[in-house]
Amino acid sequence: GDWGCPEQGCPVDVLRTKRLITAIKTPYLTSGKVDLYAYDALVEAQIEGGVEGLIVGGTTGEGQLMSWDEHVMLIAHTAQKYGDRVLVIGNTGSNSTREAVHATSQGFAVGMDASLQINPYYGKTSRRGLIEHFGAVMDLGPAIVYNVPARTSQDIAPEVMFELAKHKNFAGVKECEGNVRIKGYTDKGVTCWTGNDDEVHEARYEAGAVGVISVTSNLVPELMRELLFDGPNPELRDRLLPLMGWLFREPNPIGVNTATAMLGVAKPVFRLPYVPYAADLRAEGAALLRDVGVANAQPLADDDFTLLREW
Amino acid sequence: GDWGCPEQGCPVDVLRTKRLITAIKTPYLTSGKVDLYAYDALVEAQIEGGVEGLIVGGTTGEGQLMSWDEHVMLIAHTAQKYGDRVLVIGNTGSNSTREAVHATSQGFAVGMDASLQINPYYGKTSRRGLIEHFGAVMDLGPAIVYNVPARTSQDIAPEVMFELAKHKNFAGVKECEGNVRIKGYTDKGVTCWTGNDDEVHEARYEAGAVGVISVTSNLVPELMRELLFDGPNPELRDRLLPLMGWLFREPNPIGVNTATAMLGVAKPVFRLPYVPYAADLRAEGAALLRDVGVANAQPLADDDFTLLREW
Amino acid sequence: GDWGCPEQGCPVDVLRTKRLITAIKTPYLTSGKVDLYAYDALVEAQIEGGVEGLIVGGTTGEGQLMSWDEHVMLIAHTAQKYGDRVLVIGNTGSNSTREAVHATSQGFAVGMDASLQINPYYGKTSRRGLIEHFGAVMDLGPAIVYNVPARTSQDIAPEVMFELAKHKNFAGVKECEGNVRIKGYTDKGVTCWTGNDDEVHEARYEAGAVGVISVTSNLVPELMRELLFDGPNPELRDRLLPLMGWLFREPNPIGVNTATAMLGVAKPVFRLPYVPYAADLRAEGAALLRDVGVANAQPLADDDFTLLREW
Amino acid sequence: GDWGCPEQGCPVDVLRTKRLITAIKTPYLTSGKVDLYAYDALVEAQIEGGVEGLIVGGTTGEGQLMSWDEHVMLIAHTAQKYGDRVLVIGNTGSNSTREAVHATSQGFAVGMDASLQINPYYGKTSRRGLIEHFGAVMDLGPAIVYNVPARTSQDIAPEVMFELAKHKNFAGVKECEGNVRIKGYTDKGVTCWTGNDDEVHEARYEAGAVGVISVTSNLVPELMRELLFDGPNPELRDRLLPLMGWLFREPNPIGVNTATAMLGVAKPVFRLPYVPYAADLRAEGAALLRDVGVANAQPLADDDFTLLREW
């Protein structure tokens, strides 16, 4: 087509080797704008902790609350500054094909390595519509297809996924439907990352997943690195599970937003519709973080938090 | 708050009397831009057919594929030209509170009577987040709250809805969870419209719903008017059910898009990720339309359709 | 072309009869958003004062500081609420043909009567480029062409203007190059409005202009009405000239912004790069307003004003 | 202020050493989107030709015809790919302080070295407004202030410029008012680049300018390098003057757009309001290019060119 961009990310084979990818949290200033100082500190900590890739503006990073220019700015910033040390994967999908094409084109133009592509949530479409939609965006560069029916209300069925997998730019699947589904893919040579932190141990060591696109690694990258790279470790898994459970008591990213505020990694600023966990859950989270060796969480008071209707 | 707009729509009591509201289809030019000639003809036919309100840029009208300025333009156009003959309800909700506040503010400023407000699909949020989100947008003017878990992946539970119902600008619920849920609301004085055309007869005559926000009425407004206003009529219901079923064989608005193209009401132009029904389904639809008295549907050939990645 | 909009404003013959058109000031809330309460009060006062048309988002109304969606919202709001009492002319020109086409299309779709079209300021273009640019926007509906070399750095020469005047949607010229230029046009049947308040008396009674697109009428609509409608009146002209001079001591709309703040017509809120007149000029303005019968101007203190970098 | 970006470009001292900066042309695809293949080839040729800095999206690069997200994308693309070989200066100024602040913030976040800041053209403002406007954007990082009254209709007077020069992020002036003005600045230690190619020889060797921000260097970077670096060379100057004159027969960038199309450096695609030089001027340009050693210019036929109203 008429898309003149020489940048098309990294080879899919390189993508397929990455075990630990963080869906990175976006920290905000009190104005609601992106706090790039805090963001950079978080990225540095991720890289030092052994994280190999970042999803920029994922659901965790609240891409759904960004304007596209802000979203692409953050991808560009990350690629420009950290692109030689970590894979930069932009969550440039959308339920509008036009928006997905536009954002994905821009993402590659500014140096991202790959895109994460969701199926059209909320609006949904037919099987043929899915094929057309993913085809349009995969034509632009390497893509990880993201299946999360608990958000999109529409499962990408395996038959559709195998059809998508024929595209030269298809790198693999971020799959949230569980390890049986993942095993069905990996048995046929389709690369998978689980999107469920609490299932990562089995995904990696039993279902053939290459790794995880993780929320938890925002908080404990080294432990997630160990879990993914150093062989089966049920003890470590069990040690992490309570924290993982806490992170998903309410829809993500509420948990990780609350935790990063308590840790001082991000200011206690929330863009609505997200609001922090209540005081009792915060106290519980501070204790769980201590249990895994993160000692400095402050439960904070309710009025420490800023909730924003506009930003 | 600091929102200086004297226009805040029509009184909620007026909204609550409207039985037949159409989620109106948006027709396109071959360029993908809105075809306002076709749109106006469709609106005129709706008003003549007895429709009392329009949802502009609903899921059916593909608000999810519009830029906000296009969406607000269409609300303004409708209010300006037809606001004295039909209620104009803008689907100005969003999963981003900022976008919902911005679009709803603009919608009221340009003359809409009320807004339709969805809960944050895809991104989702907590119970308290829902309260904050809906509070932000209901502060701006009359609103119908829209619950469609099969799209949003998150049910608005009755306990949340009753909380929302306390707001002075809460007009009622567009509910897709069925007539038992609706009965539970109407028994307690909460106005309901069903969002399911195939359940409208029971919703209206057994579950206490005031009426419907309908897709089918795009095609047969007079018959929907009769069904809603002239008392129980199981025969008419049964006559319409096959067409209603056909409209939802694939995710709406694929069916109504295909039907309006076949009827010449709209050009056969689809914004992706929507694609038309296949030829066999089209032939079936043409027959079903004839069965309810709409004789002029043309099945069209596959290459009559234009599919757009950009517009 | 492929622009499907049945609304194309009012007949050019109607436009050509309007003598008193106000380039209306846009008032702001402390947040920097448009204060529609104050705007509506100002519009009401204009209509009551005998103003026949409004330029919405002109240079005076700071269209240059609006996002296009805000600009079109304000046009739509005005057309929806006052379109039956006053002509609504949207300043939907731009130095980008794309932006001018987009905004002008939307303006007509939401009910404006005509557009005001500037030549491409700053970027400038060739004679043929001017013809192409104005042709693109005049194709969409009635237009007044605006020549103000002291802002655009490029005079629209008469030979170009006469070329533009052949278009069926050309209504006339807002001309700031003075009454000799205007006389040259009106002698050949081209309708003119002067854009210079201080030259309006001669423009109207000697140079054949139909009237004025005025800044001063924001403050004293009745006097401007009298000046335009009741025959030559050098005494009234001379009474108004000091105020007119004061309004243009610094680039418009700084003067009218300061005056409306002093009169309480708008909050003392400025979007940068505009800042209010200094205290001595404010005191002088309050006195000049009293001299023409507007008694309630308050000079205000420097810290009564809010200057905004973002809004 | 509340702007959390650790990137603030390169030191002003580094900027002040750069003699040859190109206001780079933006090439387009037939669709009107940016042709990044052609752009990259052009940038490579610039760097090889000895150019030390690029103005991205300047008037020459048609920033005035870009959406801001496209503009920032192009800055990010350039910084990401060429930032280690050439200084990247984003033309992120605007006549709206909000837009200038937003674009400049984003530009630094994505890696630009400095911004080019224009005074508010068209809307204009007062002396104090200029101070506030430039202060807002210079707070964000290193800036070159751009004075071009023939476009902006408002000269930045030396007294204002000296006031601006006190800011720590003020790098210098791109001055189009001529070499006397430049001499007045450089005598007082203010770094200057001339914006007039035809005056560069005297600017550099007599008026103390460090160099030029050039249009001509898009076509003949090596010759401009020689002119700037190898000492006074009236012969070379005189050899280049006819081409320089040709480039400005109509408002820039019409000439350079026509030339790059004739050379095959860019497709013959124009975004309106720009249209190519007529056939006779094209023939003359091809000859002038040959005279300076560029042999491959094709005059092209009128219908080789595509003119776009939308893109």
Best residue in A3, A64, A277 to probe B by mutation, most B CBs within 10 Å?
A64
What is the average per-residue pLDDT within A20-48? Answer: 97
The answer on pLDDT for A2 being more than 60 is no
What is the average per-residue pLDDT within B78-83? Answer: 98
pLDDT digits (tens, 9 = 90+) for B180-224: 999 999 999 999 999 999 999 999 999 999 999 999 999 999 999
Q: Known catalytic residue: D146? A: yes
pLDDT class of A1 with cuts at 50, 70, 90: very low
Catalytic residue among C28, C174, C185, C277: C174
Cα three-residue angle B160-B162-B168, rounded to 5 degrees:
115
Q: By the 8 A CB rule, do A107 and A75 touch?
A: yes
The helix/strand count (H/E) of chain B reads as 13, 10
Q: By the 8 A CB rule, do C23 and C46 touch?
A: no
How far apart are the C-alpha atoms of D240 and D234, rounded to whole Å?
10
What is the average per-residue pLDDT within C1-8? Answer: 69
pLDDT class of C2 with cuts at 50, 70, 90: low
The answer on pLDDT for A98 being more than 90 is yes
CB atoms within 10 A of CB C302: 9
| pLDDT value for C1 | 46
Mean pLDDT of chain D, nearest integer? 97
For the entire predicted model, the pTM comes to 0.97
Distance from A68 to chain D by nearest Cα, in Å?
Answer: 8
| pLDDT value for B5 | 77
pLDDT digits (tens, 9 = 90+) for B276-291: 999 999 999 999 999 9
How far apart are the C-alpha atoms of B201 and B181, rounded to whole Å?
15
How far apart are the C-alpha atoms of A217 and A214, rounded to whole Å?
6
Option in D33, D68, D106 nearest A2 (CB): D33
The answer on pLDDT for A240 being more than 70 is yes
Mean pLDDT of chain C, nearest integer? 97
Catalytic residue among D18, D39, D174, D277: D174
pLDDT digits (tens, 9 = 90+) for A257-275: 999 999 999 999 999 999 9
* CA dist C169 → A234, C79, C117, C188 (Å): 77, 20, 12, 17
Option in A2, A5, A35 nearest D30 (CB): A2
What is the average per-residue pLDDT within B158-166? Answer: 98
The answer on pLDDT for C165 being more than 50 is yes
Cα three-residue angle D175-D178-D182, rounded to 5 degrees:
60
Q: Known catalytic residue: C146? A: yes
CB atoms within 10 A of CB A230: 9
Catalytic residue among C28, C39, C146, C277: C146
pLDDT digits (tens, 9 = 90+) for D83-101: 999 999 999 999 999 999 9
The answer on pLDDT for A5 being more than 90 is no
The SS3 assignment for D299 reads coil
Query: At which residue do the structure tokens 């037919």 appear?
Result: A126
Of A275, A148, A196, nearest to B125 by C-alpha is A275
* CA dist C191 → B113, C47, C113, C183, D124 (Å): 40, 23, 17, 10, 28
Tell me which residues of chain A, numbers 72 to 101, contact chain B at a CB-CB cutoff of 8 Å.
Answer: 95-98, 101
> Around A64, how many Cα atoms within 13 Å sit in the side-chain half-sphere?
25
The answer on pLDDT for D196 being more than 50 is yes
Six token digits for residue D304: 């080789």
Range list of β-strands (E), chain D: 20-23, 53-56, 87-90, 114-118, 143-147, 170-175, 192-194, 211-214, 269-271, 306-308
Identify whether A251 is preceded by a cis peptide bond (ω within 30 of 0): no
How far apart are the C-alpha atoms of B235 and A288, rounded to whole Å?
62
Residues of B in contact with A307 (CB under 8 A): 132
How far apart are the C-alpha atoms of B197 and B206, rounded to whole Å?
15
What is the average per-residue pLDDT within A189-195? Answer: 98
Catalytic residue among D39, D146, D185, D277: D146
CB atoms within 10 A of CB C42: 22
Q: Do B271 and A98 touch (CB under 8 A)?
A: yes
pLDDT digits (tens, 9 = 90+) for B57-80: 999 999 999 999 999 999 999 999
pLDDT digits (tens, 9 = 90+) for C108-129: 999 999 999 999 999 999 999 9
The answer on pLDDT for D73 being more than 90 is yes
Six token digits for residue D249: 């027969």
Residues of A in contact with B121 (CB under 8 A): 121-122, 153
| pLDDT value for D122 | 98
What is the average per-residue pLDDT within A74-103? Answer: 98
Option in B7, B77, B109 nearest C109 (CB): B77
Percent of chain A residues topping a pLDDT of 90: 97
Q: By the 8 A CB rule, do B27 and B38 touch?
A: yes
Q: Do B154 and A251 touch (CB under 8 A)?
A: yes
pLDDT digits (tens, 9 = 90+) for D130-178: 999 999 999 999 999 999 999 999 999 999 999 999 999 999 999 999 9
Residues contacting D67, CB < 8 A, separation 6+:
none
Query: At which residue do the structure tokens 């200066």 appear?
Result: D89
The answer on pLDDT for D1 being more than 50 is no
Mean pLDDT of chain A, nearest integer? 97
Option in A97, A274, A308 nearest B273 (CB): A97
Residue type, D233: N
How far apart are the C-alpha atoms of C281 and C258, rounded to whole Å?
10
Beta bridge partners of B53: B21, B87
Percent of chain C residues topping a pLDDT of 70: 99
Distance from B230 to chain A by nearest Cα, in Å?
Answer: 33
| pLDDT value for C4 | 66
ipTM score above 0.90: yes
Q: Label the pairing between strands C170-175 and C87-90.
A: unpaired
Q: Do B72 and C77 touch (CB under 8 A)?
A: no
Percent of chain D residues topping a pLDDT of 90: 97
pLDDT class of D2 with cuts at 50, 70, 90: low
Q: By the 8 A CB rule, do D193 and D209 touch?
A: yes
D195 touches chain C (CB under 8 A): no
Tell me which residues of chain D, numbers 98 to 157, contact chain C at a CB-CB cutoff of 8 Å.
Answer: 98, 101-102, 120-126, 128-130, 132-133, 136, 149-154
Option in D102, D251, D311 nearest C126 (CB): D251
Q: Do C120 and D309 touch (CB under 8 A)?
A: no
Torsion of CA A177, A178, A184, A187, to 10 degrees: 130
